[in-house]
């Protein structure tokens, strides 16, 4: 402003020039001199420039002032360019989602581009139109999602009503050689500034099917374009730009709701696999999830800790997306429908009225008589094509799934032909579905199901008579009773013969013989070993059941049951030493029964094995020395787990310190992930190189790093780990009033980080219990 001297008009222009370009490094070409009242424009750039030149020639006496004056002249020139109108604006706009924008950029977009603010790219779509003269046009490379996402509805509607939209070319993913790493799908658009007429048409091209950029170019040239009147796009759901033939029939939303599911805000706390519990108790409810492939009855692996809608989850400040019409009014719960996974090829499964998660949408017909027709449509390629025509985004929005055209009469006729007897009732041959019968002969994994039965596990369908099943599945469930005599009473099945019990492979063979009847033979054994080898990508099947149990079973079990094993194979690290299959439900039973099971394993079964090795050692049996040493080391590790000092302790981050387990006293409702930690933390005498502790293998994805999300404010005394804890060092807790030797005190600031790999001594827990008892 000092350069302007006494020229008031120039002083005002210079002030405006500074304000306009104060955030130039952030805003760039978004800057629009026409926005708001502008003294700078009132003076005119043509007038400002010569005044600046005059000031530079006569008023600047030092280098610093001259540098500032040159910068001011450059900004004035930039302002002139930014206020110029162009015949054509052609560019690949910059892409930057709202969540990654600086505050200054986000605030500017909120103010100047409210309908386009979700992405920097769409803000530039608007800005480029403002660059055009009345006969001008834009030719832009942009993300494709703004053509269909609901969040851009106002922007699309505005352009469709006020500008002539000439061309849309959908390029899909990997549109350019230097963009192959992008997940974004892209498109080309040409839009004229002039207003559209009633006859205005949009020309559409589609080259999204290939990931080869050169082939996309050829498709744009060779493929025949489609056309649609611009006005017709306004009648599409959310004014989505599709440029496709209009389908016959009403929208699916006329006949069904598409409803988003429950997000707990803390899945590690509130969601378990159903097999982590021996039986579903009153605190847990079935929780249907998504599927990878279309199937009649899938997604039935989980339980949610709902507690009748009156527990902590219902009011939890960390939970979100509770659909009010579902969780509060429970309007659609109990009503059949379809679960559509919102990714890739939109696989779906039938829904039976359970609580449902957010990982897929639930489509529930208004009239249950239309369920079969809606299923026939949603499970067809036609549905996939219809949805992808309006929403090619990888993760389809929930609202989109019901905004496709649906010819009810046509699909009723198709469904009657495909399902003359109606839709099938619930059943599955997959043992990780709660509608599986539980019989080894009825499923895909006979060996693993037989092992589960051997250690005493039974499937939900066997324990819940109210669970709806097909007649065939119910018959298989009834036949499971014939196998009950083969189940081990205490849930401990040793691989070698111990305490007079037959070896595990012998017991397994007898159970398979009872399950398969006349079909059981040595050749059938080899066939089943081959089946499980192929399922687990093994080079070749194991020689027999005994070898398979020692070498391959547990890793396969962990993979099949999604790293939440309910059969734990404890071993001493010696290839011919002690190994036992243990029912994790027995190990985690309440009222001290879990501790008794571990003591039984430690002192009775393993003790018997140790005594035998001592006898063999005295008689000079080959290998007895190593087997005895390994067994004694394992027994020492198990004793440490019983004692529960770090790192052999159990830690549950959502329980206050006075409720943390002292010694081996797990809560089965906390799940396998947390309760298995002492067994994986233990170290065999060979160093535990596998990281599996005293288990035969490490369950694949089990880890105790930080869980997603933040915890709401918690008491520092009851939850010290949320108060500035040294998460990186996983420090041990402090006994309030007197620090435990070698451990730092908790901090003074609450961070709410959900760390799990923390260890607390028995002394800290006992002190916390004493304080709690004194308080209450």
- pLDDT at residue 305 greater than cutoff 80: yes
| 258 lies in the same domain as 342 | yes
| 203 assigned to some structural domain | yes
- The pLDDT tens digits of the residues spanning 738-751 come to 444 444 455 678 88
| 112 assigned to some structural domain | yes
| 433 assigned to some structural domain | no
Tokens coding 347: 């696989």
Q: List the single range of 621-625, 661-665, 699-703 with lowest mean pLDDT.
A: 699-703
- CATH code where residue 306 lies: 3.90.220
- The pLDDT tens digits of the residues spanning 543-559 come to 999 999 999 999 999 99
| 694 assigned to some structural domain | no
Q: Which pLDDT band, with edges at 50, 70 and 90, does 44 fall under?
A: low
Q: List the single range of 134-138, 353-357, 599-603 with lowest mean pLDDT.
A: 353-357
Last residue of a domain, one of 197, 219, 239: 239
- What is the extent of the structural domain holding 290? 250-418
The helix-helix angle for 381-390 and 371-378 (nearest 10°) equals 70
- SS3 annotation, 513-576: HHHHHHHCCHHHHHHHHHHHHHHCCCCCCCCCHHHHHHHCHHHHHHHHCCCCCCEEEEECCCCC
Q: Which pLDDT band, with edges at 50, 70 and 90, does 428 fall under?
A: very high
| 387 lies in the same domain as 403 | yes
pLDDT at 173: 79
* Number of domains composing the chain: 5
| 93 lies in the same domain as 75 | no
pLDDT at 396: 84
| 411 lies in the same domain as 445 | no
- CATH code where residue 201 lies: 3.40.50.150
pLDDT at 737: 37
Q: Which pLDDT band, with edges at 50, 70 and 90, does 261 fall under?
A: confident
Last residue of a domain, one of 418, 453, 481: 418
Compute the mean pLDDT over every residue in the chain, rounded to the nearest whole number. 87
| 690 assigned to some structural domain | no
Provide the Cα torsion 650, 651, 652, 654; round to 10°.
150
679 within 8 A of 692, measured Cβ to Cβ: no
| 263 lies in the same domain as 180 | no
CA distance 324 to 338: 20
| 405 lies in the same domain as 290 | yes
- The pLDDT tens digits of the residues spanning 147-189 come to 888 889 999 999 999 999 999 998 887 788 766 455 578 889 9
CA distance 774 to 200: 81
pLDDT at 732: 42
| 97 lies in the same domain as 180 | yes
| 60 lies in the same domain as 205 | no
Q: Where are the beta strands (DSSP E) in 235-307?
A: 250-251, 256-259, 271-273, 285-288, 302-304
For residue 326, give the nearest of 361, 356, 369 by alpha carbon.
356
Instruction: Tell which wins on pLDDT, 243 or 514.
Output: 514
For residue 358, give the nearest of 312, 321, 388, 403 by alpha carbon.
321
pTM: 0.79
- Tell me the CB-side half-sphere exposure of residue 640, using CA atoms within 13 A: 22
| 500 lies in the same domain as 563 | yes
Last residue of a domain, one of 239, 266, 297: 239
Residues 6+ positions from 624 with CB-CB distance below 8 Å:
613, 616, 617
For residue 144, give the nearest of 507, 394, 428, 487 by alpha carbon.
394
Q: Which pLDDT band, with edges at 50, 70 and 90, does 81 fall under?
A: confident
Q: What is the mean pLDDT of residues 473-492?
A: 96
| 611 lies in the same domain as 742 | no
- The pLDDT tens digits of the residues spanning 406-418 come to 999 999 999 999 9
CA distance 754 to 737: 25
| 486 lies in the same domain as 501 | yes
Instruction: Tell which wins on pLDDT, 83 or 655.
Output: 655
pLDDT at 743: 44
- Tell me the CB-side half-sphere exposure of residue 291, using CA atoms within 13 A: 24
- pLDDT at residue 246 greater than cutoff 70: no
Do the strands 285-288 and 355-356 form a parallel or antiparallel pair, or are they unpaired?
Answer: parallel
Angle of CA points 770, 774, 776, to nearest 5°: 115
Residues 6+ positions from 304 with CB-CB distance below 8 Å:
262, 264, 270, 271, 284, 285, 287, 313, 355, 357
Ranked by mean pLDDT, the top range of 23-27, 185-189, 216-220, 300-304 is 300-304
- pLDDT at residue 307 greater than cutoff 60: yes
Instruction: Tell which wins on pLDDT, 359 or 299.
Output: 299
pLDDT at 43: 53
| 540 assigned to some structural domain | yes
Ranked by mean pLDDT, the top range of 229-233, 702-706, 766-770 is 766-770
| 686 assigned to some structural domain | no
Residue 224: is the preceding peptide bond cis (ω within 30°)? no
| 538 assigned to some structural domain | yes
- Which single residue is written with the structure tokens 């955030």? 23
| 374 lies in the same domain as 414 | yes
Q: List the single range of 7-21, 98-112, 674-688 with lowest mean pLDDT.
A: 7-21
CA distance 267 to 303: 10
């Amino acid at each position: 402003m000092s350069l302007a001297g006494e020229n008031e008009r120039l002083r005002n222009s210079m002030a405006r020039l500074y304000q306009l370009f104060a955030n130039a490094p952030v805003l760039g070409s978004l800057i629009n001199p026409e926005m708001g009242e502008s003294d700078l424009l009132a003076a005119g750039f043509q007038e400002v420039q010569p005044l600046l030149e005059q000031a530079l020639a006569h008023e600047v006496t030092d280098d610093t002032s001259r540098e500032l004056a040159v910068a001011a002249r450059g900004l004035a020139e930039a302002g002139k360019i930014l206020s110029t109108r162009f015949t054509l604006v052609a560019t690949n706009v910059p892409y930057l989602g709202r969540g990654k924008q600086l505050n200054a950029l986000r605030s500017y977009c909120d103010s100047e581009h409210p309908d386009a603010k979700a992405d920097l790219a769409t803000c530039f779509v608007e800005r480029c139109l403002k660059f055009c003269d009345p006969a001008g046009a834009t030719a832009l490379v942009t993300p494709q999602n703004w053509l269909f996402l609901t969040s851009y509805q106002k922007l699309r509607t505005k352009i469709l009503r006020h500008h002539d939209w000439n061309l849309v070319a959908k390029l899909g993913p990997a549109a350019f050689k230097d963009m192959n790493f992008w997940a974004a799908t892209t498109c080309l658009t040409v839009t004229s500034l002039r207003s559209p007429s009633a006859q205005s048409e949009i020309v559409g091209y589609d080259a999204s099917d290939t990931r080869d950029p050169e082939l996309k170019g050829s498709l744009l040239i060779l493929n025949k374009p489609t056309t649609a009147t611009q006005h017709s796009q306004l009648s599409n759901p959310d004014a989505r730009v599709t440029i496709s033939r209009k389908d016959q029939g009403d929208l699916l939303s006329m006949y069904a709701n598409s409803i988003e599911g429950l997000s707990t805000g803390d899945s590690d706390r509130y969601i378990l696999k159903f097999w982590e519990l021996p039986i579903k108790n009153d605190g847990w409810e079935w929780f249907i999830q998504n599927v990878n492939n279309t199937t009649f009855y899938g997604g039935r692996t989980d339980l949610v800790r709902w507690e009748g809608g009156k527990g902590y989850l219902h009011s939890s400040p960390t939970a979100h997306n509770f659909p009010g019409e579902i969780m509060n009014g429970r309007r659609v719960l109990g009503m059949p429908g379809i679960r559509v996974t919102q990714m890739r090829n939109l696989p779906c499964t039938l829904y039976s009225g359970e609580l449902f998660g957010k990982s897929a949408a639930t489509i529930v017909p208004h009239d249950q008589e239309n369920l079969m027709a809606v299923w026939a449509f949603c499970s067809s390629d036609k549905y996939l094509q219809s949805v992808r025509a309006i929403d090619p985004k990888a993760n389809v929005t929930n609202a989109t799934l019901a905004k496709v055209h649906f010819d009810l009469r046509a699909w009723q006729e198709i469904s009657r032909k495909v399902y003359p007897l109606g839709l099938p009732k619930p059943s599955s041959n997959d043992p990780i579905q709660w509608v599986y019968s539980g019989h080894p002969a009825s499923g895909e994994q006979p060996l693993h199901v037989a092992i589960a039965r051997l250690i005493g596990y039974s499937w939900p369908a066997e324990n819940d008579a109210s669970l709806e099943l097909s007649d065939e599945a119910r018959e298989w469930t009834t036949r499971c009773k014939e196998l009950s005599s083969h189940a081990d009473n205490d849930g401990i099945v040793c691989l070698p013969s111990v305490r007079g019990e037959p070896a595990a492979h012998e017991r397994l063979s007898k159970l398979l013989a009872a399950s398969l009847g006349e079909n059981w033979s040595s050749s059938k054994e080899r066939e089943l070993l081959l089946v499980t080898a192929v399922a687990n990508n093994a080079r070749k099947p194991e020689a027999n059941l005994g070898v398979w149990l020692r070498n391959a079973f547990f890793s396969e079990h962990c993979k099949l049951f999604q790293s939440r094993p309910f059969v734990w194979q404890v071993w001493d690290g010696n290839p011919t030493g002690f190994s036992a299959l243990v029912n994790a439900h027995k190990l985690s039973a309440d009222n001290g029964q879990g501790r008794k099971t571990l003591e039984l394993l430690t002192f009775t079964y393993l003790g018997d094995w140790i005594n035998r090795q001592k006898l063999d050692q005295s008689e000079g049996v080959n290998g007895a020395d190593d087997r005895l040493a390994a067994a004694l080391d394992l027994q020492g590790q198990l004793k440490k787990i019983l004692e529960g000092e770090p790192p052999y302790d159990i830690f549950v981050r959502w329980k206050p310190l006075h409720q943390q387990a002292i010694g081996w006293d797990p809560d089965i409702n906390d799940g396998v992930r947390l309760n298995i930690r002492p067994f994986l933390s233990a170290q065999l005498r060979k160093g535990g190189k596998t990281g599996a502790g005293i288990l035969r293998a490490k369950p694949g994805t089990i880890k105790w790093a930080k869980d997603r999300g933040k915890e709401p404010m918690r008491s520092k005394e009851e939850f010290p780990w949320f108060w500035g804890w040294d998460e990186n060092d996983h420090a041990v807790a402090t006994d309030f009033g007197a620090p435990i030797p070698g451990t730092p005190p908790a901090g003074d600031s609450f961070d709410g980080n959900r760390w799990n790999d923390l260890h607390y001594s028995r002394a800290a827990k006992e002190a916390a219990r004493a304080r709690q008892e004194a308080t209450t």
